[in-house]
Structure 1
Amino acid sequence: MEATLGVRTAERANDALSAAQVVVWAVKPQVLREAVLSALPYLGKPLHVSIAAGVVLKTSRSGRAHAVLLV
């Protein structure tokens, strides 16, 4: 995916997220909360796109305003 589409992928949250303009949450619905919470320390203010079925992303309780797109 990285070579074909020119996007970065990661299995775990890391410093690269701080520069992200868009974050795609492509995880199973039951692990989305844990994934988001682990990423919060690294996030700037990207657009969030979730493809986790039946899950709604909300503004984080940390006070950071994030634009959210639900798909």
Structure 2
Amino acid sequence: MMADAEDRLIRLEETVAYQAKTIEELSDQLAEQWKVVEQVRAKLDRLTERFLNLEEQTHEAVPITKPPHY
């Protein structure tokens, strides 16, 4: 009876240790993914700014005239 309780306790400790390791690994992966998300967000912000600047330049450069068929 005592051996069963000891075996059960050992299995529970192993399970807890495995779960703690898994949680730590997942936390590390989440932190890495967050860095990637931040990099992508920064790149998107820069591209959006460039697009808006190009769009403004295009509007200023194109004169508004009637097409030749009018």
> TM-score, with normalisation over the residues of structure 2?
0.19
Name whichever structure is richer in strand by fraction. Answer: 1
The one of the two structures with greater contact order (alpha-carbon pairs below 8 A, sep at least 6) is 1
* Structure holding more helix per residue: 2
The structure with the largest alpha-carbon Rg is 2
TM-score (norm 1): 0.19
